[in-house]
Structure 1
Amino acid sequence: MLFWIIAAALVAVIALLFALALWRGREDDDMAPAASYDVQVYRDQLRDLDRDVERGVTSREEAERAKLEISRRMLEADRKAQAGSDLSMAPKAATIALVIGGAVIFGGAFWLYGRIGAEGYEDQPLAMRFQNADKLYDSRPSQEEAEKMAKARQLDQPQSDPKFAELMQRLRDAVAKNPNDPKGLELLARNEAAMGNFDAAWKAQQRLVALKGDQASADDYAQLGELMVVAAGGLITSEAEKTFASALQKDPKNGLSLYYVGLMMAQNARGDRAFRIWDGLLRNSENSDPWVPMIRQNINELAWLAGESDYTPPMPRGVGPSQADIAAAADMTPAERQQMIRGMVEQLNDRLAQEGGSADDWARLISSLRMIGEVDRADAVYGEAKGKFASRPEDLAKIDAAHKAPAGKALQDEGGAPAAPAQAAPMMPGPTAEQMKDAASMSPEDRQQMIQGMVDGLFDRLTTEGGTPAEWARVISSLATLGEVDRAKEAWGEAQQALADDPDALAQVQLAAQRAGVAE
């Protein structure tokens, strides 16, 4: 209420100032009648002078001098009368404008405050917000307290099937008789969760983790933490947090644990930290990972809280053709293969137009369009991408490198190398159609030997004779895929030396090296 009293007082003061300004304007308007009266007096004096001359009271010379002085005063009075007339008209228009403008300003201010204001909410500097977040973090309820609150809010659960309930009771009895059976504990935890008994589920999982000891995996800890979170009604307690920390000690890249740690940061008013964690997780997740939809649904809001006003969520890995798709392409005719590749490019184009994407995605689309010969479309996409990433020099370098990729005349020449799928970045030459058909008919061992031979040959040629940026990128990606990380790092080092004088080409190779995990 105090706020509204202060606001009303301020409005009244400002309105009073406006009224005083208008009142002063009206006082100035009083000059107009006085000046008009003076003009009339001076006219009467001129007529009196003429009469005095006729009666001989005043000489003609004195009358002329008096007329000059009276005329001068009459002109000055007339000027004031005209000025007063102008002033008398101006405040009327000004008054209307001020009344309308004041109503709009004050009405708009109160409307806006009613929409987004918070009455009685004190100012919160950044340091105070961090302090409040720490208090919120420290005051979290325990696992037991959180479960009690969750049960109080929980609706009545539907009755389970009597046969399933009987089987569950048998399972519980069997585990009670043999508490050190890991298989029994695993089944018990899974089925208790299926029945909605999450408290019993996480306790069974906890006994399983304790039974495994040092052999317990990061996934075992992550599943335990998830069951604890569900039992607590979605709240991540300090006990669950310690469980996820144990999982991340065993595997710092455990996706489920990273997701819940990020969620914990968001729950405790640290959306900036949650964004950093989820952004990194999204970049390293497969599209099929269960946490990906939830992250993509909320990460834009977290990005805004973290100060990333123009953030575009990256696409998870695994978006693109599968190995089965690539193998099937070997049996296609050139026309069918062209249609498949064009479809991939169009899918990527549609996704970027509707959902946006990272700089890598835009670079893939640009290089893909150039590779299939659609240079005009590539140029148009390049112009749009430059506008999106103008404030990010590193991302803009990727876009520029893709725009400088060689342009093809068509998707492929008859019998030539097919254009790389839109999922690959940067676009690199691949095996010929004949090589793909031969590889499809080989045994796995022979196919592996053939691929290894091609990669070794390319590696030897590049390290001795050099080659194009696409070839360097191809050999680095291939070696990393084959598990030869040290040789991939060696190839990246050789590429840095060979392409040191060409920053654009080096950026293209660096992108492939980063994707292969051999460059920062």
Structure 2
Amino acid sequence: MIFSAALFVLAVLLIGGVMLLQAQRATVPVMRDVDVYAEQLRGLERDLAKGVLRDEEFAAMRAEIGRRMISAARASGHQPNPSAQDRGLWAFAGGSILACLLGVGLYSQIGAPSVPDSPIAERYAQSETLKVNRLAQETAEARAPAKDTATDPDYVQLVTELRAALEARPADIQGHELLAKAESRLGNFASAHQAQARVLELKGAEATADEWYAYAELLIMAADTYISREAETALREALRRDPNHKLALFRMGMYFDSIGRPDRTFGIWRKLLEAGPETAPYIPLIRRTITDLAQIAGVNYDPPAVKGPSAEDMQSAAEMSAEDRSAMIASMVTGLADRLATEGGPAPDWAQLIVAYGILGETESAREIFNEAVQVFASRPGDLEILQGAAQSAGIWP
């Protein structure tokens, strides 16, 4: 970049010097063809002001028109008006040099002069390399830090008995579904995704998008939030069955960011943000990062304001009694809380519960769930970000 700027300065000096030398020898025409050139120069300045021309295009075209104007002046045989023409040329040369120097100075402050240029094609090639070299699940799990597992002896005994029972009944789909959830609650995510893989194997083509997403999530959690090749495949299987599966789309956005394609992440997360709902567990994280992603993607983007309830939502709620509204919300929150307490779940589910308690104004309950979730996901930075975003939405963090 700096080398290119130096070349531009040199070119401006050479062109300006030649033009100044020619100006001293040329005559100022009063003929109509020179008037046309003058009007063309004024038109160029208008185009530059409108943004139709880039600076380098303007400089090149102005130099060419100036050359023709000088030639026309020579042919006309009139004497020069050095004061006006010299001032204009000196202003052009000086302004061009000053603009270039200011650009170099600005780049040295906010750019990375020591980093070589990285064209889009090169960055895409690097992304493909990162994709091809993505770790396999087994390797990713081996590199993940050790996790603390549940120590409730009674629950551990129940899970042990369930494992033994399934050895005798390997085709029991419901049994393997239960085992996947139980292993997940214990923190045995490797065993959990193996059980979920068995569910997918038994169901075959009938496996749903939710089941494939559950498998992907267990793979990701077992690898300490790293999205391996197998996890990517599972996410794509979920999206093949349901292209609008929001949790799978959110994770795919994280995947693209990890392989150097934040532009793809922006495209996915922008749709999720605009689709809502605002209470979705991934929305806080998207809101915190979407502006930076837009800048990296080269898009001028203003995130939508936080949406309140729609007119239909307000009308439906208005038609319910206060007791019915409270009962409905409490039932939804209680159901989610009970499921997480008995079966566990991924970080987005915990985040959803935290946000729900915040909406209800039960900040103490939200804080308790947040603290518990932080302990569960302490070794997974990506999930902690989701939880912190939910806590921020609930007004209990930082």
TM-score by length of 2: 0.50
The amino acid across from 2:140 in the alignment is A
> Unpaired segments of 5 or more residues in structure 2?
7-100, 322-398
Structure 1 residues 228 and 313: alpha-carbon distance in aligned structure 2, compared to 1, 3 A threshold: farther
> In structure 2, what is the Cα distance between the partners aligned to 1:331 and 1:311?
36
> In structure 2, what is the Cα distance between the partners aligned to 1:329 and 1:220?
36
Q: Post-superposition shift, 1:281?
A: 2.4
Larger radius of gyration: 1
* Structure-to-structure mapping, 1:322-341, within 5 angstroms: 325-327=314-316, 329-330=318-319
| Number of residues of Structure 1 aligned to a counterpart in Structure 2 | 222
Q: Post-superposition shift, 1:194?
A: 1.3
Structure 1 residues 289 and 180: alpha-carbon distance in aligned structure 2, compared to 1, 3 A threshold: farther
> In structure 2, what is the Cα distance between the partners aligned to 1:328 and 1:279?
29
Pairing 1:289–2:283 present? no
Structure 2 counterpart of 1:160, from 138, 146, 151: 151
Counterpart in the other structure of 1:139? 133
Counterpart in the other structure of 1:237? 228
> In structure 2, what is the Cα distance between the partners aligned to 1:177 and 1:301?
53
Structure 2 counterpart of 1:196, from 180, 187, 191: 187
> In structure 2, what is the Cα distance between the partners aligned to 1:284 and 1:324?
16
Pairing 1:271–2:262 present? yes
> In structure 1, what is the Cα distance between the partners aligned to 2:163 and 2:278?
37
The amino acid across from 1:134 in the alignment is E
Asked if the contact 1:218/1:250 (under 8 Å) is kept, the reply is yes
Pairing 1:256–2:247 present? yes
> In structure 1, what is the Cα distance between the partners aligned to 2:261 and 2:188?
31
Cα distance per residue 1:111-160 (max 9 Å; x no partner): x95x756575322222211211111111111111111111xx33x51551
Pairing 1:130–2:124 present? yes
Structure 1 residues 119 and 170: alpha-carbon distance in aligned structure 2, compared to 1, 3 A threshold: farther
Q: Post-superposition shift, 1:306?
A: 1.3
The amino acid across from 1:144 in the alignment is E
Q: Post-superposition shift, 1:268?
A: 0.8
The amino acid across from 2:143 in the alignment is M
The amino acid across from 1:301 in the alignment is D
* Structure-to-structure mapping, 1:265-414, within 5 angstroms: 265-313=256-304, 315=306, 319-320=308-309, 325-327=314-316, 329-330=318-319
Q: Post-superposition shift, 1:274?
A: 0.9
Cα distance per residue 1:392-424 (max 9 Å; x no partner): xxxxxxxxxxxxxxxxxxxxxxxxxxxxxxxxx
> In structure 1, what is the Cα distance between the partners aligned to 2:165 and 2:309?
47
Counterpart in the other structure of 1:171? 162
Structure 2 counterpart of 1:209, from 184, 200, 204: 200
Structure 1 residues 280 and 166: alpha-carbon distance in aligned structure 2, compared to 1, 3 A threshold: same
* Structure-to-structure mapping, 1:76-91, within 5 angstroms: none
Partner SS, residue 274 of structure 1: helix
Structure 1 residues 120 and 251: alpha-carbon distance in aligned structure 2, compared to 1, 3 A threshold: same
Asked if the contact 1:283/1:315 (under 8 Å) is kept, the reply is no
Cα distance per residue 1:266-313 (max 9 Å; x no partner): 111111111111112223343333322222222221111111234224
Asked if the contact 1:185/1:204 (under 8 Å) is kept, the reply is yes
Cα distance per residue 1:94-119 (max 9 Å; x no partner): xxxxxxxxxxx9xx969x95x75657
Partner SS, residue 148 of structure 1: helix
> In structure 1, what is the Cα distance between the partners aligned to 2:127 and 2:173?
40
TM-score by length of 1: 0.39
Structure 1 residues 221 and 139: alpha-carbon distance in aligned structure 2, compared to 1, 3 A threshold: same
> Unpaired segments of 5 or more residues in structure 1?
1-5, 11-104, 333-520
Asked if the contact 1:282/1:315 (under 8 Å) is kept, the reply is no
> In structure 2, what is the Cα distance between the partners aligned to 1:149 and 1:260?
20
Pairing 1:148–2:139 present? no
Asked if the contact 2:149/2:186 (under 8 Å) is kept, the reply is no
Asked if the contact 1:225/1:243 (under 8 Å) is kept, the reply is yes
- For the aligned residue pairs, the C-alpha RMSD in angstroms reads 3.1
> In structure 1, what is the Cα distance between the partners aligned to 2:195 and 2:320?
51
Q: Which has the higher contact order (CA 8 A, sep 6+)?
A: 2
Partner SS, residue 241 of structure 1: helix
Pairing 1:219–2:213 present? no
